[in-house]
Amino acid sequence: MNIVNKFKNFFTKKVVSRVELVTEHGNGFYRWNGNIYKSDIVCSCIRPFYKAVGKMQAQHIRNNGKDIVVNPEAYIKFLLEEPNPLMTGQKLLEKMAVQYKLNNNAFACILRDEFGFATEIYPLPATGAEALYSDKNELWLKFVLKNGKTVKFPYTDIIHLRQDFNNNDVFGDSPVETLEPLMEIVTTTDQGIVKAIKNSSVIRWLLKVKQMMTNDDLTKYVANFNKNFLSVENSGAGGAAAVDSKADIEQVEPKDYVPNSSQMEKTTQRIYNFFGVNQKIIQRSYTEDEWNAYYEGEIEPFAIEFGEELTRKIFSRRERSCGNKIILSGTLLACASMATRLNLVQMVDRGSMTPNEWRTTLNLAPIEGGDNPIRRLDTAVVNNNKGNKDNG
């Protein structure tokens, strides 16, 4: 289904807000208000985030107060595993995570069948989004895509994730004003280093010829000087040079400004702070506690918001009242130490984890019957009435 032509007849009466979005441009660069900035630092900051989010698993949970059923509806299970023909659930999560970090806003549209059931979910990496109200006072979003086309969707069909939700009633605050000066410093610094390297090949020696020579003779004289004394292939001089009295030699010292490493590190650290990462998170050299802190501070809030947004946009209020919801199961134990994982066997003994859930933390294949919780006999449920009777 062509999502561009899905809603053709739509008339608005009021514009409430607009947000300009950062657009990925590939090959280590991204486009920002028509200017291309080198973004290797930004990419390294957001990569641990979207890689960790991509390892999460979206699940449909139904809790009716008595039983908890995982993925009871086949169509929702397949929707979460394959949201559209172009990508898997993992790639949808990663795509939304990238847009979320770059823009403080991430959008995806839900396509439904004639009965109102969700059939496909498409991310919307737009260059701009605009909030509008229809004649019936319903909120719609108008998106400008990278190909210049515009699409409009009712807000009830849009999965909208946002952070820094402060000044605007609909959108998260744009990170442009914060990131732009930092990225300008990084770009200027990189350009200065490149220019300094290029200037290393400029004139280093000045020959002041005392006699009258033609231009051809001057060219030959300089070429002969370069060949005899400046060529790396010429090693016969032994570190000494002799010239005749035709010219005086003066060395030219270039004055190129290159920022010191401390200034560069401070700017990089400010960008790290903006994205909530550090050098250890980026280089995967973190400890278990350091990863847990990053997970709880950055990844877990995103997972909660995404799960709640999927729940309220896929299910009606009646369905939610029956205990239906979408959750993103975390991977906090993926970076746990082996000692921590082995200690989880106590959770298996007490029925808090199934054997297969524990084996998953060890990267082991599931076993038959491992999905059933077990409990040691000495950890049986306490019966207070029986205990009081025995005591009496």
The ranges assigned to domains in the chain are: 3-175+268-331, 203-251, 336-392
Write out the DSSP string of 167-204: S-SSSPPPSHHHHHHHHHHHHHHHHHHHHHHHHTTS--
* CA dist 21 → 125, 183, 270, 274, 378 (Å): 8, 16, 21, 17, 58
β partners of residue 247: 209
Type of residue at 124: L
Burial 258-286 (b: 16+ CB within 10 A, else e): eeeeeebeebbeebbeebebbeebbeeeb
User: Average pLDDT for residues 27-51, to the nearest whole number?
Assistant: 61
User: Average pLDDT for residues 108-119, to the nearest whole number?
Assistant: 93
Contact 362, 327 (CB under 8 A): no
Across 77-81, 232-236, 272-276, least confident range: 232-236
Across 167-176, 305-314, 352-361, least confident range: 352-361
**Distance between CA atoms of 82 and 92, rounded to whole angstroms?**
9
User: Can you give the pLDDT at residue 12?
Assistant: 46
How large a percentage of the chain has pLDDT more than 70? 69
What does residue 189 show for φ and ψ, rounded to 5 degrees?
Answer: -65, -45
32 pLDDT band, cuts 50/70/90, is: very low
**Closest to 335 in 3D by CA, of 375, 294, 304, 366:** 294
User: Can you give the pLDDT at residue 268?
Assistant: 85
**Distance between CA atoms of 26 and 37, rounded to whole angstroms?**
11
- For the beta sheet containing 150-154, the strands, ordered from the edge strand earlier in sequence to the opposite edge, are 12-20, 128-134, 139-144, 150-154
Structure tokens at 207: 């020959």
42 pLDDT band, cuts 50/70/90, is: confident
